[in-house]
Structure 1
Amino acid sequence: MSEVARKPRFSQVSLIFACGTALFSDGYANGVIGDVNTLLTRIYGADEVDKHNYSTTLSSLTFAGTVVGMLVFGYLSDRLGRKFGMMLAAGIVALFSGLSAASSGAHHSIGGMLSMLSAMRFLLGIGVGAEYPCGSVAASEQSEEPGISKNAQHRWFALATNSMIDFGFVVSSFVPLVLFWIFGENHLRAVWRLSLGLGVIPAVAVFIWRLRMEEPTRFKRDSMANAKVPYWLIIRRYWVSLSAISLTWFIYDFITYPFGIYSSTVVNNITGNSAALTVVFGWGVVINLFYMPGTIGGAFVVDYLGPKYTMITGLVLQAIFGFIMSGLYKTLTNHIAGFAVLYGIFLSFGELGPGNCLGMLAAKSGPTAVRGQFYGIAAAVGKIGAFVGTWAFKPIIADFGGADTTRGNTGPFWIGSGLALLSALITFFFIRPLSHDGMDKEDREFRAYLEANGYDTAQMGLRDTETWSTTSDPVLSEKDEKIVV
């Protein structure tokens, strides 16, 4: 390939990552709080932390902030632009990561410090939620720009979004371990504050990276930022696919949490219930590393199977391994090496399928004009599923016999595996396949649909910008074909 052909391809791939890489800081922010909570309990004592109802307050506020960010910024990214949303989201994550690290109460009270940390996590959650309908949506639109190989469009999107989230989880578990090695047992306050504070660095780096970005060509051409949005026409055309994607996202997040119990089972059995922080943090790194083979391998599969069938494959295989781990739970806990391997494979299939593909389906199934809102609604419904799952499965465990019984521990996983199969069926019957350059085709068909229903499509697009490019034409020139192949 010549330098002329290679240069535009690299520039376009870098733009995809500029849009999606901020999700690394979101994965980091979400992942690091688990180890921080372990440190806070170690420093101040479980009774003192529980006295302020910190755990419930933190989880509820972070959840609420994320949902608010997804819904509000889904609207803002469609009305004010992808770049506006991405810049503001990165700024929010950077600011409140720093303020989280600086949390302090009046007269250094523990209750005040925990309250400030919870409030900062709520505001940080808004920035985290904002990145999904802003950064992910912009990355999806950049993935179909000239210079991107058609057979790599889905791959680059997956690597720039879900793989970044998973890598953020890996780093978020490694950083507290390194800081603990540096500061030791007697300086745990420095460990938890720096663990949170270092989240500023990737957010600021991405903010700077995005400064010279422009809006994606597709948004310039097909936006309704300056037009009245015909929501009723849009609902009539897209309600089935939006409902199906939202429901599968709800189910995926709902079942992800109970399966998380396996991580504590693996760690407790391997370590003999060790309380040493190096052991706890070290195995946290190992558990999070299980995600990476699935998301990276899935990125190289999805362009060939397509997002729909890659997701179905991941869900079915994940359900099979979930059933195996449930049925052989008692035997496997006595053979922890085999249990850890099965658990790792289970996590990998989750990332290969719904982990990689849900965001892709949400970002590429709707029209450019309301893509941010389409994505934001689906992601918010998924987050609600996560919240419901955290509350539902403790009663389920109790109904199956309690946490001290094998039946009680495995009951939720039978349910979770069954729900994974249900999600696969919903995907098969109600979610349409995505083709390469599918967003361009969808936008043309959407315009035709609006015109057939009396809507004036001439008001669409950003009028003050030169918006047309080769992506507006379904037939690329011979020169462009040489670039994208």
Structure 2
Amino acid sequence: MTGSLKTRIKSVSLIFACGTALFSDGYANGIIGSVNTLLTRTYGKEALARHNYSTVVNSLGFAGTVVGMLLFGYLSDKVGRKFGMMSAAGIVVVFSCLSAASSGANGSVGGLLSMLSAMRFFLGIGVGAEYPCGSVSASEQSEEPGINRRAWHRWLGLSTIVMLVFGFSIAAFIPLVLYWIFGPNHLPVIWRLSLGLGAVPALAVFLWRLNMDEPVRYKKDSMRNARIPYNLVFRRYGGQLAAISIIWFLFDIIIELTAMLNDVFGIYSSTVLNNITGGSTDLAIIFGWNVVINLLYVPGALLGAFVVDYLGPKNTLASISIIGLVLQAIVGCFMSGFYSQLTKHIAAFSLLYGLFLSFGEFGAGLCTFILASKACPTAIRGQFFGAAAASGKVGAFIGIWIFPPIIKAFGGSESLRGNTGPFWIGSGLALLNAVIALCFIHPLTANGIIQEDQKFREYLEAHGYDTSQMGLADNHDLLTIVDHDSAVQDKKGDLEEDNGLVI
């Protein structure tokens, strides 16, 4: 193995060390639905309703995630990427275990549910922290000199959004496997193990990150030891932040509005799932279909990660977002128009539903991650990404609460219009997102992060800001080294484009 290849493999491994922890986000958000189903079977609907459990656990989980995104967005910029990543992984490990150990005084069900809800809040902080810490670091690592510039977005997508949707799939599969092992008479063991196993990938990532250093771009261009001129930052990047945040906000509403098959999450009620399962209450059947549904997210994310770099650096992200959103809208309209026929042919419905979800991940799901992490300078990247990601979580939370009234307004869950309404709305929002991406999103440049950092420095200097305070101590000489290596890499990339993508 040549030294060059070893360097590239090491560079790619660092990208995954930073971004792979988003698997924990997918797992944490995915597993709670199955756990809620198990809790209902174990303690009864009345016990959960009496303590308003469903509302409390969902509200606290989302609140914790938003707090983590915003708080660690700031800490990622002002304290350090590694501090944020290590803290995030550690929080997920601790509170995944504590969630599994939830119990109430003297066996109180109310106490158990209260503790679980509280642990989900703190777990949400760790999960939310991964976005502005791990994803941002993965973005910066993806443009290191050892990475081919024609694979920058691919590696970032594979290490973040693909890991996220893969976490959803594993979260659906784990309860099914545990149910096969322990059977219907040991449901408490199943839900506790399902929650506790979330600590395993987080612990692995924590150990993986121990010997990591801060990304080179952070050492060079951070404002850890300098005052951040927020007035200048908002003047230059406020518009892009607003556009990306709105796209992420609407995309997460679409996901919640159209999650009609996910009755397992305990949030929605749908006649479609009853058609699929024949009204079965067998957990093996319900969990099995949940696995199928969650796997439908994966193809779009994978395809998008491998396509994104081929469309060209200037138009890549806006183009792929628009393509994915328009295709999602078309499929959504088709599903709404032929809903009654499709529900009689479950394979066809599942295929189209899978395309609807995949196109969403192929477009906005993938591109919001890349845009939010590369459309701003290193100095404020954590806060920029954290704010955009938090807007998405707020959209998801709103989607949960507006879903029942929408169903009711369209005629109720027992009517044809009630079940098709969310797909019409989801399709409309997807088209709106496509318009926003077309009109307001600035395509990334070929030189990505490095060029944006240079432009930001020039902008600050033009407004009288002393840029000599930027960067970490004893690392000001990185500018010449990094920019020289990047220039060499760009020339190598131009030569390699005709021979296909390499690492």
TM-score relative to the length of structure 2: 0.94
Residue range with higher mean Cα deviation, 298-307 or 471-480? 471-480
What one-letter code is carried by the residue in structure 2 that aligns with 1:171?
Answer: I
What one-letter code is carried by the residue in structure 1 that aligns with 2:85?
Answer: M
State how far apart, in whole Å, the 1-side matches of 2:306 and 2:490 are: 26
Partner of 1:471: 482
Q: In structure 2, do the counterparts of structure 1 residues 482 and 412 end up closer, same or farther at CA, with 3 Å as the change threshold?
A: closer
State how far apart, in whole Å, the 2-side matches of 1:335 and 1:85 are: 48
Give the total of aligned pairs: 484
Tell me, yes or no, if the aligned pair for 1:151 and 1:436 is still in contact at 8 Å. Answer: no
Partner of 1:389: 399
Residue range with higher mean Cα deviation, 55-64 or 435-444? 435-444
- In the TM superposition, what is the alpha-carbon distance from 1:478 to its structure 2 partner? 7.7
Aligned pairs for 1:3-402 (under 5 A) are 3-264=2-263, 266-305=272-311, 306-402=316-412
State how far apart, in whole Å, the 1-side matches of 2:159 and 2:451 are: 23
State how far apart, in whole Å, the 2-side matches of 1:475 and 1:194 are: 47
Aligned pairs for 1:394-433 (under 5 A) are 394-433=404-443
What one-letter code is carried by the residue in structure 1 that aligns with 2:483?
Answer: S
Q: In structure 2, do the counterparts of structure 1 residues 475 and 205 end up closer, same or farther at CA, with 3 Å as the change threshold?
A: closer
Q: In structure 2, do the counterparts of structure 1 residues 99 and 263 end up closer, same or farther at CA, with 3 Å as the change threshold?
A: closer
SS of structure 2 residue aligned to 1:186: coil
Q: In structure 2, do the counterparts of structure 1 residues 375 and 475 end up closer, same or farther at CA, with 3 Å as the change threshold?
A: closer
Residue range with higher mean Cα deviation, 80-89 or 301-310? 301-310
State how far apart, in whole Å, the 2-side matches of 1:63 and 1:234 are: 28
SS of structure 1 residue aligned to 2:309: helix
SS of structure 2 residue aligned to 1:175: helix
Tell me, yes or no, if the aligned pair for 2:220 and 2:470 is still in contact at 8 Å. Answer: yes
State how far apart, in whole Å, the 2-side matches of 1:473 and 1:73 are: 32
Tell me, yes or no, if the aligned pair for 1:106 and 1:112 is still in contact at 8 Å. Answer: yes
Tell me, yes or no, if the aligned pair for 1:27 and 1:169 is still in contact at 8 Å. Answer: yes
- In the TM superposition, what is the alpha-carbon distance from 1:347 to its structure 2 partner? 1.1
Tell me, yes or no, if the aligned pair for 2:90 and 2:202 is still in contact at 8 Å. Answer: yes
State how far apart, in whole Å, the 2-side matches of 1:148 and 1:110 are: 52
SS of structure 1 residue aligned to 2:146: coil
Q: In structure 2, do the counterparts of structure 1 residues 484 and 56 end up closer, same or farther at CA, with 3 Å as the change threshold?
A: farther
CA RMSD of aligned residues (A): 1.6
1:443 aligns with 2:423: no
State how far apart, in whole Å, the 2-side matches of 1:442 and 1:70 are: 23
State how far apart, in whole Å, the 2-side matches of 1:252 and 1:482 are: 33
Q: In structure 2, do the counterparts of structure 1 residues 453 and 19 end up closer, same or farther at CA, with 3 Å as the change threshold?
A: same
State how far apart, in whole Å, the 1-side matches of 2:104 and 2:490 are: 63
What one-letter code is carried by the residue in structure 2 that aligns with 1:276?
Answer: D
SS of structure 2 residue aligned to 1:237: helix
Partner of 2:267: none
Tell me, yes or no, if the aligned pair for 1:15 and 1:139 is still in contact at 8 Å. Answer: yes
Identity among equivalent pairs (%):
62
Query: Over residues 62-117 of structure 1, what are the superposed CA-to-partner deviations in whole Å (9 max), with x where a residue is unaligned?
Result: 01000000000000000001000000000000000000000000111000000000
Query: Over residues 20-44 of structure 1, what are the superposed CA-to-partner deviations in whole Å (9 max), with x where a residue is unaligned?
Result: 0111112111111111100000011
Segments of structure 2 that go 5 or more residues without pairing to the other structure are 264-270, 497-503
- In the TM superposition, what is the alpha-carbon distance from 1:437 to its structure 2 partner? 2.9
State how far apart, in whole Å, the 2-side matches of 1:262 and 1:222 are: 46
1:459 aligns with 2:465: no
Segments of structure 1 that go 5 or more residues without pairing to the other structure are none
